[in-house]
Amino acid sequence: MTAQAAPAAKEANEYIAGGEPAQNRAVVQLEFTQNGGLARPAPSRSKSSQPESHQMISAPPLRLKPFDAADVPFFTSMATDPRVTKYVGDGRTWDQATIAEKTNNALRDAPLNELGVARWFTAHRDDQPVGVFVSTRRESAVEIGYWVPPERWGQGIAGAMIDAGLEIIPRLFNTNILIAHVDPNNAASARVLTRRGFHTTVRENGLDRYIWQVGPFAGR
Ligand SMILES: CC(C)(COP(=O)(O)OP(=O)(O)OC[C@H]1O[C@@H](n2cnc3c(N)ncnc32)[C@H](O)[C@@H]1OP(=O)(O)O)[C@@H](O)C(=O)NCCC(=O)NCCS
């Protein structure tokens, strides 16, 4: 695919995912640059200037930042945990070489129109990493993935990261289509996608391919 360069965008942004989130569900405050690289802190806002939906949230919001070398140990803790990798790839934990290959690809600042180029983001809560959202350019779409440590499952973190991804990724990669590959036994992953309008299409190599696209679903 010959992807076009992403349009210029604000260097830093802040985004609260999910419009009207329910109490105790995760929301995301997002800091990113158009190339997924250097992030600057979002401007602080006084409480009175915050949207009403934000003030309703009792759990601290998530902050999504571009994946950084300092996040590699956190990612490694998940990639080496069999509970996390159970439905990822061949189901086995990742060895150090695989972790290095994938994280190095995520950290290299390659052009966004290059096939296989990745941009990863780490979600933080109270300055602690609580999840990683990954995106990779494929032939005709951008593939997403999401990792949350088991002690944080069920808190809406994956959902909030995906909500943010649906805002960022189309603009970042200049694409209309996001895909995800999900093991049919990974009920939480399937649920978090279908709740956000992803449609399952075909099963390839034992994985269900989910598609989301900007605008009406065309049934690809
Ligand atoms: C899949 C994963 C990312 C979900 O993260 P999470 O932060 O717990 O997800 P959320 O809390 O945002 O949402 C999970 C949804 O699945 C539901 N769910 C959880 N376990 C479920 C199960 N066994 N069956 C059906 N639904 C389930 C939750 O109720 C929630 O739905 P809701 O929003 O309607 O209440 C997490 O389990 C994980 O990191 N797994 C390991 C890595 C992985 O499999 N990544 C995806 C690869 S495709």
| pLDDT value at 212 more than 80 | yes
CA of 184 to the centre of ligand 1 (A): 13
Share of the chain above pLDDT 70, in %: 71
| Mean pLDDT (the chain, rounded) | 80
- Among residues 21, 77, 75, the alpha carbon closest in space to that of 51 is found at 21
The pLDDT, as a whole number, for residue 61 is 84
Least confident of 11-25, 72-86, 148-162, 199-213: 11-25
**Averaged pLDDT, 131-142:** 96
CA of 131 to the centre of ligand 1 (A): 12
Burial class (CB in 10 A: 0-12, 13-18, 19+), 40: exposed
**Averaged pLDDT, 216-220:** 53
Burial class (CB in 10 A: 0-12, 13-18, 19+), 160: buried
CA of 48 to the centre of ligand 1 (A): 34
The atom of ligand 1 lying closest to the CA of 162 is 12
pLDDT digits (tens, 9 = 90+) for 92-127: 999 999 999 999 999 998 999 999 999 999 999 999
The pLDDT, as a whole number, for residue 109 is 85
| pLDDT value at 220 more than 60 | no
The pLDDT, as a whole number, for residue 166 is 94
pLDDT digits (tens, 9 = 90+) for 82-93: 999 999 999 999
Share of the chain above pLDDT 90, in %: 66
| pLDDT value at 162 more than 60 | yes
**Mutate which of 146, 151, 185, 209 for ligand 1 pocket (most atoms within 8 A of beta carbon):** 146
| pLDDT value at 192 more than 80 | yes
What ranges do the domains of the chain cover?
28-213
pLDDT digits (tens, 9 = 90+) for 19-38: 334 444 566 666 655 444 43
Pocket of ligand 1 (CB under 6 A): 84, 87-88, 145-148, 153-159, 180, 182, 186-189, 191-192, 195
Pairing type for strands 62-66 and 28-30 reads parallel
Token reading at 171: 């603009």
The pLDDT, as a whole number, for residue 30 is 64
The pLDDT, as a whole number, for residue 27 is 60
CA of 133 to the centre of ligand 1 (A): 14
| pLDDT value at 42 more than 70 | no
Amino acid letter, residue 5? A
The atom of ligand 1 lying closest to the CA of 180 is 48
| pLDDT value at 219 more than 70 | no
CA of 156 to the centre of ligand 1 (A): 8
- Tell me the CATH class for 28-213: alpha beta
